[in-house]
Amino acid sequence: MNANTAFYNAFEAGDLDLMAAVWLPEPDPVCIHPGNAAIYGYSEMMRAWAMIFANTPYIQFFLTDVQVRVDEDVAYVTCTENVLSSGEGAPEEGFAGGKALATNVFRRTSSGWRLWIHHASPVLSSGGPLEEAE
Q: What are the extents of the domains in the chain?
A: 3-122
pLDDT at 132: 47
Residue 111 contacts residue 3 (beta carbons within 8 Å) = no
* Residue 79 dihedral angles phi and psi, to the nearest 5°: -165, 165
3-122 is classed CATH 3.30.9.90? no
Per-residue pLDDT, averaged over 99-112, amounts to: 96
Please state, in angstroms and rounded to a whole number, the distance separating the CA atoms of residues 75 and 86. Answer: 31
Considering only 47-51, 91-95, 113-117, which range has the smallest mean pLDDT? 91-95
Cα 25 from chain centroid?
Answer: 16
Q: Report how far residue 86's alpha carbon sits from residue 49's, in angstroms, rounded to the nearest whole number.
A: 16
Contact 106, 117 (CB under 8 A): no
